[in-house]
Amino acid sequence: MKTSHILLGATVALSLLAFVDTANALDLTVDARSDIFRPGAGIPTDGVFPPGVNFSPATGQTLTLSSVTGSITCANGPQPNSADGSCVSGATNIQTISDNGIAGVFHNSRTMFLVGLFLADETPTGTPVQADLSGQESQETITTSLAVPFYVGDGLTEDLKPQNFLVPDTATRLFFGFADAFAFSGLPGFYSDNSGELEVDFAIQQTPNSIPTPFMLPSLVGLSVSCLRRKKRRDSELSN
């Protein structure tokens, strides 16, 4: 009986590791016309609905990207650019659509970069404050909020370190798309003159400190043994 409890504890830990490491490996194709504001309320633009995934809400989840490939263009331009954007020079200054529920986007030096968006089950409403994404391309850890687009790019900092995007506890949906407008200023729109696509490989998983690892197995086994001993002692006391 004791041996079976120990094996059960180890098996559960290893199964959880396998689930976290493999079940959340995902990939999406992101069309250059993907409008990150479309999942909100109100009148849609000329863009297409952005690709996304559903997932279970939890505390301590992190989004990471393992690969972003492909290229896109904007304004019928001949020069393609990567997920880090800047198909034209200048800033992005896209205002929030009234009652759309998704924040507008500002960046002081880049345009047409890949952005992400976390939402809960409900369609967002209201007119949130414009989000300033300037400098996020250099941050290793980015704290995200519901209904606020965040800079994704290629998922790496400028010195090629992987970025970690902290998922809101109540988020259940993730979208990838772009923030576009006429000359990247004003209200969202003008997606129809974009072309190309990106392939995004990513994962949403618990942060390393919150999941069992092989180094934790002795502790888990010890916990199983301790629980078994307590049960045996309690049964002995009841029988007396």
153-169 per-position pLDDT tens digit: 999 999 999 999 999 99
Q: What is the pLDDT of residue 144?
A: 98
What mean pLDDT value characterizes the chain?
Answer: 83
pLDDT tens digits along 23-36: 458 999 999 999 99
Q: Which of 6-20, 85-99, 182-196 has the lowest mean pLDDT?
A: 6-20
| Domain layout of the chain by residue ranges | 30-206
Q: In terms of pTM, does the model score above 0.85?
A: no
Instruction: List, in order, residues 6 or more apart from 66 with CB less than 8 Å away.
Output: 25, 155, 201, 202, 203
Q: For 40, which DSSP code? A: S
Q: Which of 27-36, 74-83, 134-143, 159-168 has the lowest mean pLDDT?
A: 74-83
pLDDT tens digits along 176-233: 999 999 999 999 999 999 999 999 999 999 987 655 444 444 443 343 434 444 444 5
